[in-house]
Amino acid sequence: MFSNFFSFASPQAFYPVAGRMIPWFGWSAALLALAGLYIGFFVAPTDATQGESYRIIFIHVPAAWMSMFIYLVMALWAGLGLVLNTRLSGMMASALAPTGAMFTFVALWSGALWGKPTWGTYWVWDARLTSELILLFLYLGYMALKEAIEDPQRADRAGAILALVGVVNIPIIYFSVQWWNTLHQGASVSLTKAPSMAMTMLAGMLVMALAAWMYAIAVSLARVRAIILERERGRDMAWVRSMVNA
């Protein structure tokens, strides 16, 4: 069974599988986002202290979760590529980076728009906000470094080291609100305690988080297909030529 599973580590075998999976993830992303936004805007009640402005949570929290989680997955792929020398791992890491950067930017931007009406400021240099900004720079630095190196294998190795070093930042972001005094409040939802939100609010947020997962998978699969074609072209493989010419 495992020998079958590992056969997908070859870009040629993975290409059609990824293509078949994209519509499933894409459509579930669209449907879940519709359901999540409906719950968020029409079903979930007004918040007692913040009024309507808390509804940014339905975008902000899923985006912030994804920004951290995608980085972990990206670093895992990069590390696997470094250890196992598999071509597809580096491609997967490359495919995840732009989506992770996008979610980080959305988390920062929606957070700024949320901060003004509630805290009274768009931005403060507290530990949570600053470490999330560093995460955006890590994504951008990773993408820039990979683009700057011509040879894809060397680019993968250099990028993997940067991605792995940056992993240190993820627990710092997550625990910053516990370790230090920050303006940002603590986590409403965590694995260790009951969520401190009304049920419908929580439901809307979790559905939106699921939609963000599906979107991230669909987009990264589409991107990795493009990367496979681009990189394998140089290997003079008949199957790539047939795909490109078709």
Partner 1 sequence: MKPRQRRLAAVLGGLALLGLAAALVLNAFQSNLVFFFSPTQVAAKQAPLDKTFRLGGMVRDGSLKRRADGLTVDFVVTDAAKDIPVTYTGILPDLFKEGKGVVTQGRLGPDGVFRATEVLAKHDENYMPPEAADALKQAHNEGAAKLRAERASKSLVTGK
Residues at the interface with partner 1 (CB under 8 A) = 45-50, 54, 57, 79, 82-85, 117-121, 124-127, 164-165, 167-168, 172, 179-183, 185-188, 196-198, 201
Tokens representing residue 17 in the block: 């599988």
Sole residue written with tokens 């940067």: 162
Residue closer to partner 1 by CB (options 198, 237) is 198
Q: Minimum Å distance from CB 90 to partner 1?
A: 14
Residue closer to partner 1 by CB (options 170, 240) is 170
CA torsion sign for 80, 82, 98, 226 is negative
Residue closer to partner 1 by CB (options 79, 152) is 79
Helix ranges (H only) for 85-168 are: 87-118, 127-148, 152-166
Q: Minimum Å distance from CB 170 to partner 1?
A: 11
Residue closer to partner 1 by CB (options 10, 200) is 200
CA distance 104 to 136: 6
What crossing angle do the helices spanning 11-38 and 87-118 adopt, rounded to 10°?
Answer: 20
Residue closer to partner 1 by CB (options 78, 136) is 78
Residue closer to partner 1 by CB (options 201, 218) is 201
Q: Minimum Å distance from CB 27 to partner 1?
A: 30
Contacts of residues 11-17 at CB distance under 8 Å and 24 or more positions apart, as own/partner, are: 11/87, 11/88, 11/91, 11/228, 11/231, 11/232, 12/232, 12/237, 12/239, 14/88, 14/224, 14/228, 15/225, 15/228, 15/229, 15/243
Amino acid identity of 21?
A: M
Q: Minimum Å distance from CB 70 to partner 1?
A: 18
CA distance 85 to 79: 10
Q: Minimum Å distance from CB 162 to partner 1?
A: 12
CB-CB contact of 183 with 124 (8 Å):
yes
Q: Minimum Å distance from CB 183 to partner 1?
A: 6
